[in-house]
Amino acid sequence: MLELQDLHVAIGDREILHGINLHIEQGETHVLMGPNGSGKSTLLMAIMGFDAYKVTSGKIIMNGVDVTDKPVHERARLGMGIMFQRPPTISGLKLGKMLNVINPDKDRDIQPAITRMNMVDFLERDINQGFSGGEIKRSEILQMMVQDPSFIMLDEPESGVDLENIHLMGESIAFLLQKHQRFANRKNSGLVITHTGYIMDYLDVDKGHVMINGEFKCHGNPRDILKLIKEKGYNECLRCDKIV
């Protein structure tokens, strides 16, 4: 599904990611952890192809297609979707209008998704304008449900979300990642950034990676990695540099 080959990424003149290798199979969900500022969001933004994140060497392959030089809209057309950590406010564009634009199948009724995410009263509001932190996250998940991507990137989906809404978010993300289906039948894959690991209560996650200073330091069972980080901190990951 997604393969990163020795990916180096710079913002301006500064190299942030120093040779990332990653392979995510169809149906798998991987978790990305790491201290603040280590480059996790940069990795997601570079995979999606945003201009400020320059791939200076290495490759991004999606379903066998080299997308390293392809623009964002083409990557989206190939099935990539992203939920930002801090999505921008889009003045002058109503949420309802946006949902209609991104719906790839105009005959598909998106009302059930809108109702499920409790966003009926937000359709006539400019996107994210005055939305609370939790409302922004619900709006982002709703847009993802409508866009229906097959490779789903989520940047701290649980941050700023209250306990009741975490349940809604978790269940909805599990639905997006087809966790209700047997692994062999799943078409969708995901890469999820989390600090707290709460989202793992809802997702059957497959592999975890720890990023430190723009490099992967540790790979393995995400729950074991989280436990290690909670007990010993990221310094242990720096020392570990292996599969746990």
Ligand X SMILES: Nc1ncnc2c1ncn2[C@@H]1O[C@H](COP(=O)(O)OP(=O)(O)OP(=O)(O)O)[C@@H](O)[C@H]1O
Interacting residues toward ligand X by CB under 6 A: 11, 16, 34, 36-42, 52, 85
Return the closest-CA partner of residue 141 out of 162, 103, 168, 107. Answer: 168
CB closer to ligand X out of 13 and 105 = 13
Q: How far is the CB of 37 from ligand X (least distance, A)?
A: 4
**Considering the complex, what minimum distance in angstroms separates the CB of residue 195 from ligand X?**
7
* Shortest distance, position 212 Cβ to ligand X, whole Å: 9
Tokens encoding 205: 């996650």
* CB nearer ligand X, residue 41 or residue 178: 41
**Which one, 34 or 81, has the nearer CB to ligand X?**
34
Nearer Cβ to ligand X (27/208): 208
Q: Smaller CB distance to ligand X: residue 170 or 214?
A: 214
**Nearest distance from C-beta of residue 146 to ligand X, angstroms:** 26
Asked if residue 152 lies in contact with residue 144, where contact means CB atoms within 8 angstroms, the answer is yes
Nearest approach in angstroms of CB 214 to ligand X is 7
Q: Integer distance in angstroms from the first to the last C-alpha of the chain? A: 24
CA distance 209 to 191: 10
34 in Cβ contact with 79 (< 8 Å): no
Q: What are phi and psi of 60, to 5 degrees?
A: -120, 115
- If DSSP codes are grouped into helix, strand and coil, which group holds residue 153? strand
